[in-house]
Amino acid sequence: MSLLKGINLGYQIDDISILKAIDIEVKAGEMVGLIGPNGAGKSTLLRLLTCVEKPGWGEIFYGDNNVDQISVEERAKHIGYLVQGAKAYWPFSVEKTVGLGRIPHQKWWQHSSREDQEKIQRAMEITETLAYRNRIVSTLSGGEQTLVMLARIFATDPQIIFADEPVAALDPYHQLHVMEILRNHSRDDRAAVVVLHDLSLAARFCDRLYIINHGCLYGSGAPDEIMTAENIAEVYGVKARITCDAEGVSVAPVSRLGEHHP
């Protein structure tokens, strides 16, 4: 079952094309990785798919419905979007921050109900953030903050989670923790779309990868099909050592290829 479909998506700012003719599909139970060099348009693609930005061309479907025909409120309950470097601008406690995830389920005059409280509790359990529920978010470590921001998304209880470089700047332990949480979410009728720079994590955790380069779709497929030395050389301009073993594919960039950078 297709949860998300983007057809022929394009986007430009002042005549400069950021994205061109991108086709993307996310099925139920899938974790999809978006990879590609800096400035390739991955984050923009994520903004289009989350309806934060309107595409210049193309159409987006959630399930069978064109997003333009879904009310903004319904859309907000359906998706969770973790922006790059997400943070709280006020000194919020962890629990209060996670509680913000319930906003799409509340009317403008409502405060949190018992059901909200349960979802908040559950979200903190999933992300293992209960231990510091009363701490101020900005006093936590980077890894803990990312988990809190993820918890906020789980409190919304969305079908699809979009995450923009959720593991950038995290230590290996927290990288794996965040990826495992997203992986666990992507089951049954749920899915996740994740922008990643760490190719090994992308290969290991994602069911399918989309490689974006210069605003175009370079290729897509299962990690072991698409994560080849040739593709990485062409897209990233680096030589990489790729090993396949029982634990999955791992990719280690070795050296730059000449002066050319994409």
Partner 1 sequence: MTFMSIPDRVLLAGLGIVLSVVFYVALMVGPVNIGIGKAVMDFLAEESSMDSLILFDIRLPRALLAMIIGATLGLAGAALQGLLRNPLAEPGIIGVSNSAAFGAVLVFYFGYSNFAWFALPLGGLLGALASVVIIFALVGNSKSVVTLILAGVAINAIGGALIALALNFAPNPYAMQEIVFWLLGSVANRSMNELLIALPFVLVGWGLILYCGRFLNALTLGEETAISMGFEVRRLRWILVIGVAACVGASVSVAGNIGFIGLVVPHLIRPFVGSEPRRLLLASTLGGAILLLVADIAVQLLSSGGELKLGVITSLVGGPFFLFLILKTRNLML
Q: How far is the CB of 189 from partner 1 (least distance, A)?
A: 20
Q: Which residues contact 233 (CB under 8 A, 6 or more apart)?
A: 239, 240, 257
Q: How far is the CB of 91 from partner 1 (least distance, A)?
A: 5
Residue of 44, 24, 56, 54 lying closest to 160 (CA atoms): 24
**Toward partner 1, which CB reaches closer, 104 or 166?**
104
**Toward partner 1, which CB reaches closer, 149 or 240?**
149
Instruction: Output phi, psi for 180, to 5 deg.
Output: -65, -40
Letter string b/e over residues 179-199, b meaning 16 or more CB atoms within 10 A of that residue's CB: bebbbebbeeebbbbbbbebb
**Toward partner 1, which CB reaches closer, 96 or 185?**
96
Chain residues in the site for partner 1 (CB under 8 A): 47, 50-52, 72-73, 75-77, 79-81, 83, 86-93, 96-97, 100, 103-104, 106, 108, 111, 134, 136, 149, 152, 156, 162
Q: How far is the CB of 88 from partner 1 (least distance, A)?
A: 5
Q: How far is the CB of 208 from partner 1 (least distance, A)?
A: 23
**Toward partner 1, which CB reaches closer, 86 or 178?**
86
**Toward partner 1, which CB reaches closer, 88 or 201?**
88
Q: How far is the CB of 117 from partner 1 (least distance, A)?
A: 14
